[in-house]
Amino acid sequence: MGGTRLAHARVVVTGAAGFLGSHLTDALLSAGAEVVGIDNLLTGSLDNLAHLTREDRFRLLEHDVTGHIEVEGRVDLVLHAASPASPVDYLQLPIQTLKVGSLGTHNALGLAKDNRAAFLLFSTSEVYGDPDVHPQPETYRGNVDPVGPRGVYDEAKRFAEALTFAYHRTHGVPVHVVRIFNTYGPRMRMEDGRAVPNFVRQALAGEPLAVHGDGQQTRSLCYVDDLIAGMLAVLEHGVRGPINLGSRHEVTITQLADAVMDAVGVHPGIVHVDRPVDDPEVRCPDTSLARELLGWEAHMTLAEGLERTVAWYRRAA
Ligand code: UDP
């Protein structure tokens, strides 16, 4: 699906009311596409789409994609983003998480197949689990405990990748699989439980930032605009993947807490609290493939990205 085809495409986005789904919807509309969003608002929010109320090229179907998906008219591309994505959410919604990754992916692939449309799966760095290879290349097969608490998300996404490739091999559906590493920015729910919104909320309230464990575990944080640019590049270049998208700038969670305090301009300090079970020790993408195939990498610095994010939370509060 090249850039020019995107301009006239009719695109279905599952999870359109979510953090990434809504940003991708905006980018598709800017590229000239028509977008049919689908969301059951389990973790998504209509607030993320409120600016599109008068947009003729957008409509939202309030529907749970674990049930059969019906979209009238032609569909050129299905982007399957729907899923709880915060560890706190998927621990509270284990069965919904497994169902949207399995049944939801099946229905979204079926929609693509029936329409001879292309399909893009929002996969995740969680397919690598708690990695014993660092940084993680796409060839690394992962270290996931299927029956651990995070297994509900990790295995659902691993199954979703397998099903996506099965539809490609069996039915010839043109597919793309992107493995998304930690991403942050405006529209992440303040209460979603992930490190950035939690730290920003605590800093804005002047409370100490609650760091899990000793805070020496690492993540690499990608600003949402960079991530969306990478996804559009995947579509434009027709890359099948799986392909890692994320920032290569790895920081400890303590460093992240410090950076958030700097961005907010207050320094209430940190408190150490219990670490969740199976919390990965390190995470950083090997993005050689994205650089080679797409000429893409994340550019936004953490300081600038956090500044923009904090400004948005201040406005939204
Ligand atoms: N974390 C933390 N305090 C919080 C939320 C998260 O210390 O309030 C830690 C968490 O244990 C993990 C890292 O920050 O090591 C990133 O967590 P997040 O939930 O953002 O995403 P994950 O990478 O685990 O999916």
Predicted structure pTM score: 0.97
Flag whether pLDDT at 4 surpasses 60.
no
Q: What average pLDDT score do residues 19-47 get?
A: 98
Percent share of the chain, pLDDT over 90: 97
Q: What average pLDDT score do residues 65-79 get?
A: 98
| Domains of the chain (ranges, CATH numbers) | 3-184+221-248+285-294 (3.40.50.720), 195-218+250-279+302-316 (3.90.25.10)
- Return all residues near 234 (Cβ < 8 A) that are at least 6 apart: 120, 176, 178, 241, 243, 245, 294
Q: Please give the single-letter amino acid code of residue 197.
A: P
Å from CA of 139 to ligand 1 middle:
25
Active site residue 153: yes
Task: Please answer whether residues 23 and 47 qualify as being in contact, where contact means their C-beta atoms are separated by less than 8 angstroms.
Answer: no
Flag whether pLDDT at 30 surpasses 70.
yes
Å from CA of 6 to ligand 1 middle:
35
Q: What is the pLDDT of the chain when averaged over all its residues?
A: 97
Q: How confident is the model over 231-242, as pLDDT tens digits?
A: 999 999 999 999
Atom of ligand 1 nearest to the CA of 256: 14
Å from CA of 87 to ligand 1 middle:
8
- How many other β-carbons are positioned within 10 Å of the β-carbon of residue 19? 26
Confidence of residue 118 (pLDDT cuts 50, 70, 90): very high
Q: How confident is the model over 168-214, as pLDDT tens digits?
A: 999 999 999 999 999 999 999 999 999 999 999 999 999 999 999 99
Confidence of residue 2 (pLDDT cuts 50, 70, 90): very low
Residue among 48, 45, 46, 6 at smallest CA distance from 29 = 6
pLDDT at res. 3: 52
Task: Please answer whether residues 16 and 37 qualify as being in contact, where contact means their C-beta atoms are separated by less than 8 angstroms.
Answer: yes
pLDDT at res. 317: 79
Residue nearest to atom 11 of ligand 1 (CA): 212
**Paired sense of beta strands 218-220 and 77-80, if any:** unpaired
Q: Is 194 in the pocket of ligand 1 (CB under 6 A)?
A: yes
Q: Is 91 in the pocket of ligand 1 (CB under 6 A)?
A: no
Q: Which two tokens stand for residue 277?
A: 């079970």
Q: What average pLDDT score do residues 53-65 get?
A: 98
